[in-house]
Amino acid sequence: MRLFDYSGAGDAVPAGPKPVSWSLTEDEWEGIRRYAAERRYAPGGQIIAAGEVSDALHIVVEGQVALDAGGAAPEAVGPGSAFGVAGFLTAGPSVLGATAVSAATLLLLPRAGLDQLASWTPAVALTLLRDLAGFAAEKLHQAHLAA
């Protein structure tokens, strides 16, 4: 099963937030899937509330999700995007809320799942962590420019 269908996208990365692990193959994604839980949400379903503690990285497989950091207009993200990075890396509370805009399927990769992934396929775990570091750096850069 293909997790993300970017057919016709060529080499271009889809618009919006950079998808996590764009460079992973389908087999490598299947490896991640073994250590993640798949969750389905109906339109309007709350995925996570701001302030809720979760150590899972949320990866959008299908559908659209609205991310609400409070104050600004919610940001819509789709397949290949991830959120919950801070909680995943620190086991701290979520800084944003997330709601399914359409029917959505997500993979939730807990920190323990990353540990298992790193034990069995360290190159895949390293790629994932590099992508998360790049994502976090871009968000910090955007926040700095906005200040």
**Is 90 exceeded by the pLDDT of residue 142?**
no
Residue 61 lies in a domain: yes
Which residues make beta-bridge pairs with 57? 109
The rounded distance, in Å, linking the Cα atoms of 38 and 40 is: 7
With a pLDDT cut of 90, the percent of the chain lying above it is 44
Find which of 11-15, 16-20, 29-33, 107-111 is predicted with most confidence, using mean pLDDT: 107-111
Structural domains counted in the chain? 1
Residue 5 lies in a domain: no
Largest Cα separation within the chain, whole Å, is: 43
Residue 120 lies in a domain: yes
∠ CA 88-100-135, rounded to 5°: 35
Domain containing 96 equals 26-146
Residue 117 lies in a domain: yes
Residue 30 lies in a domain: yes
**Is 60 exceeded by the pLDDT of residue 1?**
no
**Is 60 exceeded by the pLDDT of residue 3?**
no
Residue 10 lies in a domain: no
**Is 90 exceeded by the pLDDT of residue 115?**
yes
∠ CA 7-18-54, rounded to 5°: 115
Residue 119 lies in a domain: yes
**Is 90 exceeded by the pLDDT of residue 143?**
no
CATH, residue 98: 2.60.120.10
Residue 9 lies in a domain: no
